[in-house]
Amino acid sequence: MLASIFSLNVLQTALELGCIYALVALALFLSYSILNIADLSTDGCFTLGCAVACQVALTGHPILALFAAMAAGVCSGFVTAFLQTRLGVESIMAGIIVNTGLYTINIFIMGKSILNLNKTTTVFTMVKDWLAGTPLENWSRFIVAIVFVGIVALLLAFFLHTRLGLSIRATGDNEEMVKASSINPNLTIIVGLCVANAMTALGGCLLGEYQKSCDINMGTGMVTIALASLIIGETLLGRGSIPVRIVGVIFGSCLYRVIVAIAMRFNLPASALKLVSALIVAIAIASPTLRQLVGFQKLKWKRKAQYGGKTEKAAAGTEKEEKRVC
Residue pair 15/69 in contact (Cβ under 8 Å)? The answer is no
Could you tell me the residue range of the domain that residue 82 belongs to?
Answer: 7-219
Compute φ and ψ for 61, nearest 5 degrees: -130, 75
Residue 281 lies in a domain: no
| Dist CA 96 CA 281 (whole Å) | 21
- The verdict on residue 312 lying in a domain is no
The pairing of beta strand 213-215 with beta strand 114-116: antiparallel
- Count CA within 13 A, CB hemisphere, residue 37: 37
Answer whether 206's CB lies under 8 Å from 5's CB: no
Q: Which residues contact 161 (CB under 8 A, 6 or more apart)?
A: 242
CA dihedral defined by 57, 61, 65, 66, rounded to 10 degrees? 130
Answer yes or no: are the C-beta atoms of 168 and 191 closer than 8 Å: yes
Q: Quick one: pLDDT at residue 95?
A: 93
Low-confidence ranges of the chain (pLDDT < 70): 1-6, 270-271, 307-326
pLDDT at 6: 63
C-alpha span between 144 and 16 (Å, rounded): 9
The Cα 126–Cα 132 span in angstroms is: 10
Asked if the structure places residue 16 within a domain, the reply is yes
Asked if 102 and 47 touch (Cβ cutoff 8 Å), the reply is yes
Question: Is residue 65 a contact partner of residue 54, using CB atoms and an 8 Å limit?
Answer: yes
Domain count, the chain: 1
The burial of 181, by beta-carbon neighbours within 10 Å (0-12 exposed, 13-18 middle, 19 or more buried), is given as exposed
The span from the CA of 204 to the CA of 43, in Å, is: 10
Residue 321: what pLDDT?
A: 53
**Per-residue pLDDT, 142:** 94
Residue 69 lies in a domain: yes
Which of 324, 229, 245, 241 minimizes the C-alpha distance to 285?
Answer: 229
d(CA 196, CA 206): 16
The CA-atom distances, in angstroms, between 303 and each of 6, 71, 310, 311, 314 are 42, 59, 9, 7, 12
In a 13 Å sphere around the CA of 146, the CA atoms on its Cβ side amount to 12
pLDDT of amino acid 293: 87
Burial 229-267 (b: 16+ CB within 10 A, else e): bbbbbbbebeeeebeebbbbbbbbbbbbbbbbbebbeee
**Is residue 273 situated within a structural domain?**
no
Cα distances (angstroms) measured from residue 184 to each of 90, 165, 178, 189, 309: 18, 13, 7, 9, 59
